[in-house]
Amino acid sequence: MTKENITIAALRLFLLRGYKYVSLVDIAGEAGITKGGIYHYFGSKEEVLCTALHYLFDRFEAKYQELFSCSQGVREILDTVIAEREMERYTYQLLGIRKGDYRLNFAGLILEVIQNFPEIQGRIDRNHALFCQAIETKLKQAMEQGEIRSDLDSHALAILILTMLNGQNSLGEQLNTPLLRKQMMDNLWQLLDRK
């Protein structure tokens, strides 16, 4: 219970500011305990990071399955993921925060971690791979059922979609509005649509 509190508090702060900008005092305060208490559950700050990211990825990966193996059409799913930023919404819900309160930065944390904590790289890569796989499977289905055009490479398409999702995080607020996301999605659909 307390361990999960700490994990979630840490995750919230790491996503908000980045690993190096969050101190154990911050985490302890957010989790409602004291600094030393964290060491009852974790051996080091880095272990908190690992646990937090594994926690997040476990849930993300279940969420990917749920999203892409449902019976909805590809268009609806992509709308949910790209235009409505479902993963971001889900993260807020997971961490128990309302969207207006904080501005999370998932991509930033991942990039910080990738550069400086080699031992978590494997998990990040696996997460990316699972996400691609989920999209790709759905795309293949859709191609077989004539829902989208079938002369494109489904693997490359899946990566393109992942790339777009990651790229959205780097944009400032002016370039990341609901309207613009919807237009990007429309463009993507122009590409996929079977005419």
Partner DNA sequence: CATGAATGAGATTTCATTCAT
Partner DNA sequence: TATGAATGAAATCTCATTCAT
The helix/strand/coil state of 70 is: coil
Instruction: Say how far apart CA 38 and CA 51 lie, in whole Å.
Output: 13
Instruction: Say how far apart CA 168 and CA 165 lie, in whole Å.
Output: 5
**Amino acid symbol at 83:** A
What is the contact mask toward DNA in residues 37 to 76, using x (rule: CB under 7 A)? x-xxx-xxxx------------------------------
Question: Residue from 39, 58, 153, 178 that binds a second copy (CB under 8 A)?
Answer: 153
> What's the min distance (Å) between Cβ of 34 and DNA?
4
Instruction: Say how far apart CA 109 and CA 15 lie, in whole Å.
Output: 6
| Residue 50 interface partner, choices a second copy, DNA, none, CB cut-off 5-8 Å depending on type | none
The piece of 11-19, 48-56, 61-69, 90-98 that touches a second copy (CB under 8 A) is: 11-19
186: left (phi over 0), alpha (psi -120 to 50) or beta: alpha
Of 125, 140, 117, the closest CA to residue 50 belongs to: 117
Question: Residue from 17, 18, 29, 33 that binds DNA (CB under 7 A)?
Answer: 33
Question: Residue from 25, 62, 70, 156 that binds a second copy (CB under 8 A)?
Answer: 156
* Residue ranges in 174-193 that form contacts with a second copy under rule CB under 8 A: 174-175, 180, 183-184, 186-188, 190-191
* Residue ranges in 20-79 that form contacts with a second copy under rule CB under 8 A: 20-21
* Residue ranges in 92-111 that form contacts with a second copy under rule CB under 8 A: 105, 107-108, 110-111
In contact, 190 and 170? CB cutoff 8 Å: no
- Would you list the DSSP string of 142-179? HHHTTSS-SSS-HHHHHHHHHHHHHHHHHS-GGG--HH
* Footprint on this chain of a second copy (rule: CB under 8 A): 16-18, 20-21, 105, 107-108, 110-112, 114-116, 121, 124-125, 128-129, 132, 152-153, 155-157, 159-160, 162-172, 174-175, 180, 183-184, 186-188, 190-191
